Chain A
Amino acid sequence: MIGHRQEPRGPECPSDLGLNQLMVGEMGNAARALRAHADECERCRRRLARFECATLPPLPAVPALRVLPPASQPGPIRQSAPRVRGRGSWIAAAAALVGAAAVLLLVWRSGDLSPSLDGVRIKGPLALGVVVQRASGGTDRIASGASVAAGDVLRFELAHGQPGHAAVLGLDERQVVSLYVPQDGHLPFLAGAGKTVLPGAVKLDDAPGVERIFALLCPDPLPPEQLRQRARDCLAASSGRPAEVKTLELPCSEAAFLITKEIGP
């Protein structure tokens, strides 16, 4: 349809991902058979050699990383009623809630609520997962750095190793800080350790660009405006570039995610 490879992959050939997993020793018991195949198969031998013989450039200095002390005991339980936050041209709350319910149903039916490797943890026992219901149909658990489109609906889920008060903020290239959770002014309390799908859903507007999403799990229910202001300060300190904001430097466990909003081909 869009072209043909000069060197098609045969039915016995591992994918490039498989060859890479073989290269780094992730194939376990299958490694021997795959090596034997690669020895016999010109295509796989050549591709594997290309991966193995690549010359790595030197890695520049790794940015300094800051680790905060673990969170202390949680405060009183507060509930956050699920609702959709109005932002720009987001659709009506009812439509988004229906979408969010569909997302949840699909995720649960798939049996996959684990944070997996797509969850992102900066400090503390916290991982953030993002599930997107595409405006064009379908539901994805996306990886950090993935593209999303105007009209897509996001749900957030946290895997937390301790109790705490949760919040989710978005920092975008227009210098806008959005408080996605809570939407009713009170940080929802997550009891104990576990996995929690946070209340509310977010429908993305049509402003293109990179957005940094932070999830926080705080020992105390910090005022939402304090969180928002802190995010604004950090965004300003990073010259307005959301991708450069590495931490909000709050006394909370913290996880982050990066999305790129597209405006279509």
Chain B
Amino acid sequence: MEAKVRAFYERYGKVVLGRARTLMGDRDAANDALQEVFLRVISSELHILDEPAPTSWLYRVTTNLCLNRLRDERRRKQLVAERDEQGEGGHEGAAPDHLEARTLVLEILRRVPAELQEVAVYRYVDEMTHDEIAALIGVSARTVGNRLIAFRNKMALVTRREAAQ
């Protein structure tokens, strides 16, 4: 079984790593997420090893795992502080695209409820279409649209509140 997991890692590890780097921003955090996906999630969900096309599943599991990590208050504050101290181009190991995506993710996490965050990340970080998001998370495109409306309403509300302060 270990050989099977390792073969799966060799083939699909880059999917997880690339996704984690986009969301987490830096190499170390992405590597941590990669290890966790393979050592915790995959070892508990062995059926995935036999799936012919597991990339969508890996993409979503990695997204959820990274968002969970970023939601951690201390981690979030640390990242914001790093961004403020180092500027957009100064984060070690992070390409500009990664920094930009991470900034977007942090804004989404900061401003909207958890149930809207995943869809918002797919739409505004990944620039996926409603149909693509719907296929990925298993809901209708209409549901995706409704959630994005809720997301935009929430964002507008938060922005107004922040402006008032």
Contacts and interface: CB of A to CB of B under 8 A. Distances in A.
Contacts of B117: 147
A17 interface: yes
Contact of B100 (A3, A118, A147, A152): A3
Interface residues of B, number: 78
B75 interface: no
A56 interface: yes
A265 B40 contact: no
Contact of B95 (A50, A62, A262): A50
B142 to A, nearest CB: 11
A227 interface: no
B45 A140 contact: no
Contacts, number: 189
Contact of B115 (A7, A50, A136): A136
Contacts of B31: 57
A146 interface: yes
Contacts of B137: 140-141
Nearest to B37: A145
5 contacts: A1-B155, A3-B100, A17-B128, A54-B14, A65-B46
Interface of B: 1-2, 5-6, 9-15, 17-19, 21-22, 31, 34-35, 38-41, 43-48, 51, 53-57, 59-61, 64-65, 67-68, 71, 95-97, 100, 103-104, 107-118, 124, 126-129, 132, 136-140, 143, 146-147, 150, 152, 155
